[in-house]
Amino acid sequence: MDPKYIRNFSIIAHIDHGKSTLADRMLELTGTVQKREMKEQLLDDMELERERGITIKAHAVTVVHRKDGQDYVFNLIDTPGHVDFNYEVEKSMQACEGAILLVDASQGVEAQTVANAYLAIEANLEILTVLNKVDLGHARPEEIAEEIENSLAIEATDAARISAKTGLGVPEVLDRIVDAFPAPKGDPNAQLRALIFDAVYDEYRGVIVYLRVFDGTLRKKDRVLMIGTDKKFEAVDIGVFSPKMISRDQLSVGEVGYFVSNIKTLGDVRIGDTLTLERGPTPEMLPGYKEPRHMVFADFYPTNPKDYVTMRDALDTLSLSDSSFSYEAVTSEALGFGYRCGFLGLLHMEIIQQRLEREHDLDMIQTAPSVTYKITFPDGSEKMISSPGALPSPDKFDQVLEPIVRVAMIVPSDYIGVTMTISNDHRGVFVRQEHLSPTRVQLIYDIPLAEIMYDFYDKLKSATRGFGTLNYELTGFEPADLVKLSILVNGDEVDALCAIVHKSFADPRGRAILKKLRAEIPRHMFEVRLQAAIGSRIIARESIAALRKDVTAKCYGGDISRKRKLLEKQKAGKRRMRQVGNVEIPQKAFLSVLGSE
């Protein structure tokens, strides 16, 4: 295929602005998929994607569009819109020359619209602006075009106006892609250089590698070398997605497709690596990707300890289809054996949890999510920790630094005050305010990531009646007055309930946890003390009274000393039981505390 007739592009937008629907119409109008085989969000093949109506993994597909009597091959990548899956968007852009920036003509520029547009600009992609949902009665295409120019400095007066649902204007967009996006550049006669931009695991075929050829040609049966990992494989099968896998004899400059060999584990493939031929000189590697940075950590424990090995196998299987989360074995005195997992964000964590429960039928307890903290020591060394149990005693380190994120919130002008109040309550530092239009404002704050994780987004949505959107990116670490909040049951620390919190929030947080525990832990034959502590200082306490049997019930009259003797005997028994008795904390007590964190 002559590279001048190839166009590689991705579709980027905020959540629910119509990326997957536009991809559906393109597949339909180009005849790639027959109308009888068509269904909504065709490329979203994961059950959770279809149920939630969101894209979680980027999906590549090859379509052929005819313009002026010439066939053009479009390699289209449908990308996720949620902030947690920015990593998928960045990966996709490296395989493209252009990006369709899709904006809802009724909702306008949202937080992820801004973030994804900047990613495309940084990747030096040509941007084609498209206004979607113009068939809605409350669509405001003129206003939104002005908003795009004001907030992104991207020309939008001649933006294509379409309805991805009905197909209105989509044929014109297909024609404009030919002129708007450049053809891929590369030397077909040079040594092979192909970028690995994704990989998935198939239980029948092993690892399927997604790649984009930049130089040279890849043919079936070629022996190839992955430069970064120094692994060598044979090209058993190569081809394109249309949208099903269609085998080809070769892939040349500019083409996007797949590569299958006898690769058994995803660990043998590194996303961002360069593929070349084993024979001949080894070329310079293509610019790859930064490793995904895990923002959130949580521990998963099987409710039934016998499911520990099953959970390990399930995590192994999930890591084959999603290389952007990590896991390692941990133990807890309260919850037994489990795994600490690292995620890109809270939604990513929720998706993994639901996949474990649904696809692998696991019942489990999840600890409260925590972020990564940086500790500095007197000798100048540093250490990253991701759990409260790893925090040393205060005399061992100089300071704790917490991750700070730059949060961009786009809200209607009427809700500026309440949004600022919420941000300030979560220890936010005001950076700037930008007016996108007479009715919409972007507020920029620096806020600790730990504050974003719990209830910030819910409060923002409630306060702005659902109109507020946010995007965040990590900017660095800053020192803060952080302490380890320990939860003690009868003097013993329950590691699963401990947390690293800001000192000013420790008291109310500790009291709230103790009240929930008191309601869920059943009464024992002895008094149970529940305490919240910072170091050796107790900051909150609750008590669960002992169950008492009326030992004097059968004493009718007689000397009072008989009753006293029985009561003293009971008291001594309670003292002894308190010293040797174990407090049983039911699973629902952990769930009541951890589920609300």
> Which positions make up the binding site?
16-21, 132-135
CA distance 561 to 569: 12
**Which two structure tokens, joined as six digits, stand for 277?**
């031929």
CA distance 51 to 361: 18
Task: Name the CATH superfamily housing domain 486-594.
Answer: Elongation factor 4, C-terminal domain (3.30.70.2570)
The reply to whether domains 374-479 and 486-594 share a CATH topology is: yes
What pTM value is reported for the model? 0.74
Q: Which residues have CB under 8 Å from 388's CB, separation 6+?
A: 370, 484, 485, 495, 498, 499, 500
**Which two structure tokens, joined as six digits, stand for 218?**
């890849």
User: Backbone dihedral region of 382: left (phi > 0), alpha (psi from -120 to 50 degrees) or beta?
Assistant: beta
Enumerate the domain spans of the chain.
3-180, 193-277, 296-366, 374-479, 486-594
Q: Residues, the chain, total?
A: 597
CATH architecture of 3-180: 3-Layer(aba) Sandwich (3.40)
Instruction: Walk along the chain (597 residues) and give the pLDDT tens digit of each residue.
Output: 788 999 999 999 888 888 888 988 888 888 887 665 655 545 544 555 545 556 555 678 899 999 989 999 999 887 776 666 777 787 778 889 999 999 999 988 888 888 889 889 988 999 999 999 999 988 999 999 998 998 888 988 889 999 999 999 999 999 999 999 999 998 988 999 999 888 887 778 888 888 999 999 999 999 999 998 888 999 999 999 887 889 999 999 999 999 999 887 767 888 788 999 998 888 888 876 666 777 788 888 888 888 899 999 888 878 766 767 888 898 877 678 889 898 887 778 888 888 888 888 888 887 777 888 999 998 889 998 888 878 888 888 888 999 999 999 989 899 999 999 999 999 999 999 998 888 889 999 999 988 887 678 878 888 888 788 888 888 899 999 988 888 888 888 887 788 888 888 889 888 988 998 888 888 877 788 899 999 888 999 998 887 766 666 667 666 778 778 877 876 776 555 444 446 667 666 666 665 544
Q: Among 49, 105, 107, which residue's Cα sits nearest to residue 78?
A: 49
Q: Which residue has the tokens 């450049």?
A: 182
pLDDT at 406: 92
CA distance 116 to 90: 9
Q: Among 597, 592, 300, 351, which residue's Cα sits nearest to residue 458?
A: 597
Q: Among 215, 176, 178, 179, which residue's Cα sits nearest to residue 195?
A: 215
Q: Which residue has the tokens 């174990």?
A: 582
Q: Among 286, 279, 118, 116, which residue's Cα sits nearest to residue 197?
A: 286
CATH architecture of 296-366: 2-Layer Sandwich (3.30)
> Which positions make up the binding site for GTP?
16-21, 132-135
**Domain at 193-277, CATH from 1.10.10.10, 2.40.30.10, 1.10.1040.10, 1.20.1250.20:** 2.40.30.10
Q: Which residues have CB under 8 Å from 550's CB, separation 6+?
A: none
Q: For residue 311, how far is the Cα from the chain centroid?
A: 20
Cα distances from 439 to residues 102, 319, 416, in angstroms, run 21, 44, 11
pLDDT at 452: 84
Strand partners, 383: 375
Chain segment 83-110, per-residue pLDDT in tens: 667 777 877 788 899 999 999 999 888 8
Angle at 102 between CA 101 and CA 107, to 5 degrees: 130
What DSSP string describes 20-85?
HHHHHHHHHHTTSS-GGG--TTTT--SHHHHHHT---S-EEEEEEEEETTEEEEEEEEE---SGGG
pLDDT at 529: 87
**Domain at 374-479, CATH from 3.30.450.20, 3.90.25.10, 3.50.50.60, 3.30.70.240:** 3.30.70.240
Cα distances from 3 to residues 250, 411, 449, in angstroms, run 14, 44, 45
Chain segment 531-582, per-residue pLDDT in tens: 999 988 899 999 888 776 666 666 766 677 877 887 787 677 655 544 444 6
Q: Which residue has the tokens 């990531």?
A: 449
- Which strands, in side-by-side order, build the sheet including 336-343? 326-332, 336-343, 296-302, 364-366
CA distance 385 to 297: 10
Pairing of strands 537-544, 528-534: antiparallel
Q: Which residues have CB under 8 Å from 239's CB, separation 6+?
A: 245, 246, 247, 248, 251, 257, 258
pLDDT at 579: 44
